């Protein structure tokens, strides 16, 4: 009986560990940026919007501080809303936390229209 209890405990421990790893992986880092897929999901509030999964590649290899607003909009399309003179916002879906609030990519621009701060935020 003691051996069976040990096996049950070990299996439960492994299952818990695997579920924890899957739950806490970076949702913004498992897909390469694809302009067509990005554009096809504009303004999508879908919890599984594929934009979020492209975000790490997008910010590492495509959108850079110092790029012009025009260049960024040629790549990403028009912002999804909440745009001001100094900020553009792109909806990423509901990926982080408890997946209840929308994640967005915010790009802040300086007075010359060059990208400054690039950030993923939850609203």
Q: What local confidence, expressed as pLDDT, does residue 35 receive?
A: 96
Q: What local confidence, expressed as pLDDT, does residue 16 receive?
A: 66
Give the HSE-up count for residue 75: Cα atoms under 13 Å, Cβ half-sphere. Answer: 15
Listed as ranges, residues in the chain with pLDDT below 70 are: 15-29, 96-100
Q: What local confidence, expressed as pLDDT, does residue 46 receive?
A: 85
Q: What local confidence, expressed as pLDDT, does residue 47 receive?
A: 81
- pTM (global) more than 0.85: no
CATH code of the domain made up of 29-122 = 3.30.1450
Distance of CA 100 to the CA centre of its chain: 14
Q: What local confidence, expressed as pLDDT, does residue 23 receive?
A: 47
Q: What local confidence, expressed as pLDDT, does residue 21 receive?
A: 52
Cα dist from 67 to 45, 70, 74, 88, 101, whole Å: 27, 8, 11, 13, 29
Q: What local confidence, expressed as pLDDT, does residue 97 receive?
A: 60
What are the boundaries of each domain within the chain? 29-122
């Amino acid at each position: 009986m003691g051996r069976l209890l040990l096996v049950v405990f070990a299996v439960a421990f492994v299952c818990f560990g695997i579920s924890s790893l899957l739950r806490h992986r970076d949702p913004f880092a498992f897909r390469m940026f694809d302009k067509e897929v990005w554009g096809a999901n504009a303004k999508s509030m879908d919890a599984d919007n594929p934009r979020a999964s492209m975000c790490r590649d997008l910010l590492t290899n495509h959108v850079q501080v110092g790029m012009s607003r025009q260049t960024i909009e040629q790549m990403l399309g028009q912002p999804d809303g909440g745009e001001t003179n100094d900020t553009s916002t792109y909806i990423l879906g509901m990926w982080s936390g408890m997946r209840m609030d929308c994640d967005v990519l915010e790009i802040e621009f300086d007075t010359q229209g060059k990208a400054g701060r690039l950030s993923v935020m939850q609203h």
